[in-house]
């Protein structure tokens, strides 16, 4: 091994700029290892140019002092991801003080932020474009500590809402507030006013925002918004009926769409740019609503469609979907129990690009649609038939004989393996036993 401290080592003649370019291909862990080589490589490895992205996944990765010292030296930091850190307030204080160029900040599954934490960031990190507070959230100005589970609405007045701080992030285009229970209807309105460049928002698992706040939000973001995740439990068809105004929308995910009616789904069918659609638990929809929503090449750009627990979807509706959405790659029909082999056969024939097909709980399936599925859906990689009682093992084996690379779940949710695959004996162990015996 060459001693890198020797003066005749030609590598020492390379300028730092060349070394920085070389080590830029190393991971953060490898850069840390490089610091241990010698003082020169330590200096190179700690150059701020190499530390524009940092991902720290738990408290076990490093202690608070180590993380803060790293943050202090990373004044060019652009992307920071923090997960499951109990010291989040201390770390974000350092970010606000030393990393004013940060553009992407993920703070997931951490203790709830204080109003002051977010205020410091809003005053110092004005370039922020993406903020993710999934399952973390932020307290309002008065440190409201109301119940954060269930559907207890936050009663904070508008001026105290943490949403008012978002106006400082003038470039904010992506906001992830999954399960952030301190957001109320007034705060949701504020987001519409404070974030004119918003293209993506996730307010799923916030189940008490009212119709009027959604209607207002859509009216303010209709010309920009591209991705929208929400919890529909507290909404009526009054809200769903204006979703069609979001003409730029490419992704729409609605959990708990129990109150969506005919007008709501008809409005959503106007979203001609939609590529990803989830409507879960649309139990109030009529069977004819699906036909009207998907006919005449409406929603024809869909790549991913999730209609889990839409129990009124019938064969006629699914056949309409199959004919008008030929580019589907993912189709989730969990617990759509009215469907039969008749419509699934047309899915197999018409939607040749399907990769993931989830039929968990589609109890009327008999297996006839599986006859040529491996031949028609050549790219199929995942097939879920859990809780489908009339699907036979021989049908599943036939699918694997056509394409052994398909991952299949049987009635019990267990993976299915080709019948000819037997566990081979451990010959190394047999040999060892024989030698010991001799």
Q: Which domains does the chain carry?
A: 1-50 (1.20.1280), 307-438 (3.80.10.10)
Bridge partners, residue 230, by sequence: 203, 254
For 77, 196, 224, the CA distances from 200, given in Å and listed in that order, are 23, 11, 9
Q: Which pLDDT tens digit goes with each residue over 375-409?
A: 899 999 999 999 999 999 999 999 999 888 999 99
pLDDT of residue 438: 41
**Running DSSP on this structure, what letter comes out for residue 113?**
B
**What is the CA 72 to chain-centroid distance, rounded?**
30
pLDDT of residue 41: 86
* Phi/psi of residue 56, nearest 5 degrees: -120, 115
User: 389: which 2 tokens?
Assistant: 């009682």
d(Cα 380, Cα 374) in Å, to the nearest integer?
Answer: 7
d(Cα 262, Cα 241) in Å, to the nearest integer?
Answer: 9
Axis crossing angle, helix 185-194 with helix 211-221, rounded to the nearest 10: 10
Task: Compute the Cα dihedral for 360, 361, 363, 364 and give only its sign.
Answer: negative
What parts of the chain have a pLDDT lower than 50?
1-4, 6-7, 147-150, 422-438
d(Cα 294, Cα 325) in Å, to the nearest integer?
Answer: 8
pLDDT of residue 143: 65
pLDDT of residue 311: 95
Q: Three-state SS string across 255-320, please?
A: ECCCCCCHHHHHHHCCCCCCCEEEECCCCCCCHHHHHHHHCCCCCCCCCEEECCCCCCCCHHHHHH
pLDDT of residue 10: 61
pLDDT of residue 431: 41
177 contacts 202 by C-beta, under 8 angstroms: yes
pLDDT of residue 156: 67
User: 217: which 2 tokens?
Assistant: 């939000």
- Residues contacting residue 89 through CB under 8 Å, at least 6 positions apart: 111, 113, 114, 117
Bridge partners, residue 202, by sequence: 176, 229
pLDDT of residue 331: 98
Mean pLDDT of the chain: 90
CA angle at 424 for the pair 421 and 427, rounded to the nearest 5°? 165
């Amino acid at each position: 091994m060459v001693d890198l401290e020797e003066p005749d080592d030609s590598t020492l003649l390379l300028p730092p700029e060349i070394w920085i370019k070389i080590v830029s291909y190393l991971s953060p862990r490898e850069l840390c290892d490089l610091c241990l080589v010698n003082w020169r490589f330590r200096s190179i490895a700690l150059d701020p140019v190499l530390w524009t992205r940092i991902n720290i996944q738990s408290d076990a990765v490093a202690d608070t002092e180590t993380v803060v010292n790293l943050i202090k030296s990373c004044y060019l930091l652009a992307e920071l991801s923090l997960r499951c850190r109990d010291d989040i307030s201390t770390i974000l204080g350092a970010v606000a003080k030393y990393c004013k160029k940060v553009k992407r900040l993920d703070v997931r599954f951490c203790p709830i932020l204080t109003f002051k934490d977010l205020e410091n960031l809003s005053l110092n990190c004005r370039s922020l474009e993406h903020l993710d507070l999934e399952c973390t959230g932020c307290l309002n100005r008065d440190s409201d500590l109301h119940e954060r589970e269930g559907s207890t609405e936050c009663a904070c007045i508008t001026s105290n809402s943490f949403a008012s701080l978002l106006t400082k992030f003038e470039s904010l285009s992506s906001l992830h507030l999954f399960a952030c229970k301190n957001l109320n209807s007034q705060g949701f309105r504020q987001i519409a006013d404070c974030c004119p460049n918003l293209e993506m928002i996730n307010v799923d698992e916030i189940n008490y925002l009212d119709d009027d706040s959604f209607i207002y939000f859509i009216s303010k973001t209709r010309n920009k918004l591209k991705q929208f995740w929400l919890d529909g439990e507290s909404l009526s068809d009054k809200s769903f009926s204006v979703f069609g105004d979001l003409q730029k929308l490419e992704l729409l995910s609605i959990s708990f769409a129990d109150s969506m009616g005919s007008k709501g789904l008809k409005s959503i069918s106007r979203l001609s740019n939609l590529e990803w659609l989830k409507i879960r638990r649309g139990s109030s929809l009529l069977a004819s609503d699906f036909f009207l929503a998907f006919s005449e090449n409406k929603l024809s750009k869909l790549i991913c469609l999730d209609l889990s627990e839409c129990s009124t979807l019938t064969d006629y509706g699914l056949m309409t979907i199959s004919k008008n959405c030929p580019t589907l790659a993912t189709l989730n029909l969990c617990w759509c129990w009215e469907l039969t082999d008749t419509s699934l056969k047309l899915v197999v024939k018409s939607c040749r690009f399907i990769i993931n097909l989830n039929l968990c709980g589609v109890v009327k399936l008999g297996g006839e649609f599986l006859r040529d599925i491996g031949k028609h859906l050549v790219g199929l990689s995942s097939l879920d038939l859990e809780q489908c009682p009339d699907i036979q093992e021989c049908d599943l084996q036939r699918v694997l004989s056509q394409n052994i690379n398909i991952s299949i779940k049987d009635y019990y949710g267990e993976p299915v393996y080709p019948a000819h695959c037997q566990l081979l004996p451990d010959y190394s162990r047999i040999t060892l036993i024989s030698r010991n015996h001799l």
